[in-house]
Structure 1
């Protein structure tokens, strides 16, 4: 097909720029600029300025830096220590013991962070020393952290879902609702694996926890109240229709500042560090989004996305076959690109395909997040693996092997989503009907 002529030039330029160490956002801008110069008569500079401004001035996108800032503030509080103290008395009695604090802790922090790396750093900073001291298997400590931290990408507020929603112009609040049940199901699968491993493995001999009365457990649970209150206010305000995603993010920042001040963790230094950390991360994501928007425009002029979607349609693939092809495709590119880059780089081509195949775009957002989660724990550039390597000083291949069972569980989760799509669609549809009623 004629429209496939530019593919080689696009790919060659992209891999040349990425291979030379250029930032992902600048690489996308470079590829788009080359495409505009070669395949269109429109002035590339004028198109780039207009597109970058349109992509960067979206009101919906305002939620992104606010949620990032909320996570950065909480990362600098004593939240992880308090979570461990509140969770451990309840988790100790489950099969698998305190390893469940990794999974439940990551699930809880994911609901106030939105970032996989922030979730991993915050929970791991406290749980790794505690679990080592109690002689839990090192490989399970690392594996459960690597896998459970990826829940930061799915459980709202998820930065990846915000980027996906902005890219395809879909409701962020609906996507957030869609991520709740699958996120909890995935956390349950992780916990089921830990319970099973603890019963079957002969090497699983952690030190027993001292017995605690119900009153003592309830007393320790008070440490969970601040973060649970913040989750309820932020997520609840969106689901009840009291606030948009952006307004809820602003509420979250105020709540995080109050929480940090109440804990005595809010100083001028931590405030400045959280603000600069959020600014750096937000600027990086904004540059990637701007580059992707310009690349989408450039590819649109070549007719490539439409032609590719037509070609896929001519293959007469079923929706399931298309999803399997996309699963393999995203696992492969996830080995070389971070999750947000994977989403924004491919959506211009993938969105027409899934719409043509009749796949629900809200459901597909959750599907793609699960697959992108896998990329966080796959070598050579799985970001969670690098964070864990810095925290534990283990070799990369050791950490990757420890995370492999979690990767397999995520593959299982993909098929669970395909078999029961209602896991992702039920909550947003229910809330929409209530809103309409």
Structure 2
């Protein structure tokens, strides 16, 4: 059979396995093993476990379970709620300050935990009820948390970026730095929209009060004394210091990503033990179970995805696909647009981890040939994949919000997140015209890439 025929059958078999309801890791592994048995030497089947092990033995991947431990320690303590409370106390005088506080809380928590679902759950469990109690509409409140949670895959220690760095064979530290500027751009856009939407809902409530006397909780104002503002800081500052210390250790070259992740995980456990008295075995058991469960799931997906990519490469599917794309002679920006549309479509069905590991062998060679900065593209691709976290049918953050706030209908959540999807699209356009937003910080800290 020709390479084209093998490639088509490989893709069809993959879709069939995934839509059968089989877990993603087993679907990818099963397809890879079947095609190894059909098209590769029989002896290759004897090396499946060896191939998977070798692909997963990267020292960079060791950082994943350690960062997950750090995120679980913070996410399953009261750190997220206290962080939210502190920001609300300091931003309550800003119009829509509660919404802005939730955006900032999501950003800071994402930077500490590196996980979108953990961010949505930790901040949403406190933030959504508080916003609803103060008159925010359900869709607006849910949209803020769901969109803010997506920052978990853009801000370091993003697990998604770790995998992209491995797949693209690029510096993880440089990629982490490249994500900070775009993350601040998204935080600004989300915060600006929160203020705009609050003013709109406030004006509607004021008009209703003027016409019928019907009052709304959104018209009421919170007030905090300086003493109350400073009283909330002692529990939050240690975690902010931990975040700062981890960043300095990583970007200052004092520790490798794996060492940084290990240090961050141990310090997070120490902090929750000291601040929240979470040190008993019964208290630590949920944290460790969550870490093991999520780490095992991710490492299984990574291992099988890399085996899947290895089979694609051996059968020349990825090389032929890349050559076909190059042969189309698309102008470089049309090539980028086509690839990003592909990523959006895949985001309808697949999580970011699978998208990166399955598409990297195909899309990176044409992008290099078109002279795109791969670090910059990794950031842009991550933002595009963020959209997949808040739009159906996969939309992982949507379902996390539904668990946190079951009284808000799924349709409300989806409509509430739509404006944030548009803001992410706008951020991608801005990054295309002003790539320095992403590249200036890594070039400043680590020097020019020499790309």
Smaller-chain TM-score range? over 0.9
Distance 1:435 1:39 in 2: 40
Unmatched segments (≥5 aa) in structure 1: none
Q: Which residue of 1 aligns with 2:283?
A: 270
Distance 2:449 2:162 in 1: 21
Distance 1:210 1:402 in 2: 24
- Checking the alignment, whether the CA contact within 8 Å between 1:35 and 1:299 is kept in structure 2 is no
- Checking the alignment, whether the CA contact within 8 Å between 1:26 and 1:291 is kept in structure 2 is yes
- Checking the alignment, whether the CA contact within 8 Å between 2:99 and 2:195 is kept in structure 1 is no
Shift of 1:11: 1.5
Distance 1:123 1:6 in 2: 46
Q: Which moved more, 1:344-353 or 1:68-77?
A: 344-353
Distance 1:420 1:311 in 2: 29
Determine helix, strand or coil for the equivalent of 2:267.
helix
Shift of 1:59: 1.2
Q: Give the 5 Å matches for 1:287-298.
A: 287-298=300-311
1:159 aligns with 2:171: no
Deviations along 1:113-150, whole A, 9 cap, x unmatched?
11100010000111112222222222211111111100
Distance 1:81 1:280 in 2: 24
1:305 aligns with 2:306: no
- Checking the alignment, whether the CA contact within 8 Å between 2:138 and 2:412 is kept in structure 1 is no
1:225 aligns with 2:226: no
Distance 2:54 2:222 in 1: 59
Q: Which residue of 2 aligns with 1:431?
A: 445
1:209 aligns with 2:210: no
Distance 2:134 2:7 in 1: 54
Distance 1:33 1:221 in 2: 54
Deviations along 1:252-289, whole A, 9 cap, x unmatched?
11111111111213331231211111111111111111
Q: Which residue of 2 aligns with 1:342?
A: 355
Task: Give the number of equivalent residue pairs.
Answer: 436
Q: Which residue of 2 aligns with 1:136?
A: 136
Q: Which residue of 2 aligns with 1:256?
A: 268
Q: Which residue of 2 aligns with 1:15?
A: 15
Q: Which residue of 1 aligns with 2:114?
A: 114
* TM-score calculated relative to the size of structure 1: 0.95
1:327 aligns with 2:327: no
**RMSD over aligned Cα, in angstroms?**
2.0
* TM-score calculated relative to the size of structure 2: 0.92
Distance 1:107 1:266 in 2: 27
Q: Which residue of 1 aligns with 2:384?
A: 371
Distance 1:279 1:211 in 2: 42
Q: Which residue of 2 aligns with 1:171?
A: 171
1:383 aligns with 2:396: yes
Shift of 1:213: 4.3
Shift of 1:379: 0.6
- Checking the alignment, whether the CA contact within 8 Å between 1:39 and 1:301 is kept in structure 2 is no
Distance 2:41 2:448 in 1: 50
- Checking the alignment, whether the CA contact within 8 Å between 1:305 and 1:352 is kept in structure 2 is no
Shift of 1:424: 1.5
- Checking the alignment, whether the CA contact within 8 Å between 1:367 and 1:414 is kept in structure 2 is yes
Structure 1 residues 310 and 275: CA distance shift in structure 2, 3 A? same
Shift of 1:214: 4.4
Distance 1:122 1:108 in 2: 12
Distance 2:397 2:371 in 1: 34
Determine helix, strand or coil for the equivalent of 1:336.
coil
Distance 2:365 2:323 in 1: 9
Structure 1 residues 240 and 306: CA distance shift in structure 2, 3 A? same
Q: Which moved more, 1:382-391 or 1:89-98?
A: 89-98
Distance 1:278 1:189 in 2: 32
Deviations along 1:376-429, whole A, 9 cap, x unmatched?
011112100111111111332221111111111111111111111111111112
Q: Which residue of 2 aligns with 1:399?
A: 413
Distance 2:345 2:204 in 1: 34
Q: Which moved more, 1:281-290 or 1:425-434?
A: 425-434
Q: Which residue of 1 aligns with 2:212?
A: none
Determine helix, strand or coil for the equivalent of 2:250.
helix
- Checking the alignment, whether the CA contact within 8 Å between 1:137 and 1:203 is kept in structure 2 is no
Structure 1 residues 352 and 46: CA distance shift in structure 2, 3 A? farther
Shift of 1:79: 0.7
Shift of 1:434: 9.6
Q: Which residue of 2 aligns with 1:236?
A: 248
Unmatched segments (≥5 aa) in structure 2: 206-215
Structure 1 residues 337 and 2: CA distance shift in structure 2, 3 A? same
Q: Which residue of 2 aligns with 1:410?
A: 424
